[in-house]
Amino acid sequence: MKLFWGTSYGILAVHFISRADYGTSLLLLSNFCGALGVFLAYRLYGPAVAAWFVFIDAALMERILVGGAEPLFVALFLGSLLAIRRGFFGWGMLLAALATTVRPIGVFVVAAILLITLRRKDWRSFVGYGAVAACVAALYVTPLVLLTGSPFGNFVGYSEDWYQKLPIAMPFYPIVKVALESHSFSNTIRIGAWIVAVTFVVVYYGLIRGRLRAHFSRYPEETLASLLIILFQFSYNSSWAWAEFPRFIAPVVPFLMAQVDVERLRPSWSLVAAPVFGLLGAVHIVGLRELIQSFRGSIGL
Tally the domains of the chain: 1
Question: 3-state SS of 16-58?
Answer: HHHCCCHHHHHHHHHHHHHHHHHHHHHHHHCHHHHHHHHHHCH
d(CA 283, CA 223): 33
- DSSP one-letter code for 167: S
Residue 275 domain flag: no
Residue 272 domain flag: no
* 92-98 contacts at long range (C-beta below 8 A, 24 or more positions apart): 92/221, 93/129, 93/132, 93/133, 94/132, 94/136, 96/133, 96/225, 97/132, 97/133, 97/136, 97/137, 98/6, 98/136
Residue 236 domain flag: yes
Residue-wise pLDDT for 37-74, tens only, equals 999 999 999 998 998 898 888 888 888 988 899 999 99
Task: Say what percent of the chain tops pLDDT 90.
Answer: 56
Residue-wise pLDDT for 80-135, tens only, equals 999 999 999 999 999 999 999 999 999 999 999 999 999 999 999 999 999 999 99
Residue 273 domain flag: no
Residue 270 domain flag: no
Amino acid identity for residue 261 in this structure: D
Residue-wise pLDDT for 247-290, tens only, equals 999 999 999 999 998 877 666 666 666 666 666 666 666 665 66
Q: How confident is the model at residue 241 (pLDDT cuts 50, 70, 90)?
A: confident
Length of the chain: 301
pTM of the model: 0.89
Residue-wise pLDDT for 150-208, tens only, equals 777 777 767 777 777 778 888 888 888 777 777 666 678 878 889 999 999 999 999 99
Residue 300 domain flag: no
Residue 69 domain flag: yes
Using alpha carbons only, give the angle 147, 149, 152 rounded to the nearest 5 degrees.
Answer: 100
d(CA 299, CA 270): 27
Task: Say what percent of the chain tops pLDDT 70.
Answer: 85
Residue ranges making up the domain that contains 231: 6-265
Bridge partner list, 168: 236
d(CA 220, CA 224): 6
Residue 285 domain flag: no
Q: At what angle do helices 173-181 and 185-200 cross, to 10 degrees?
A: 160
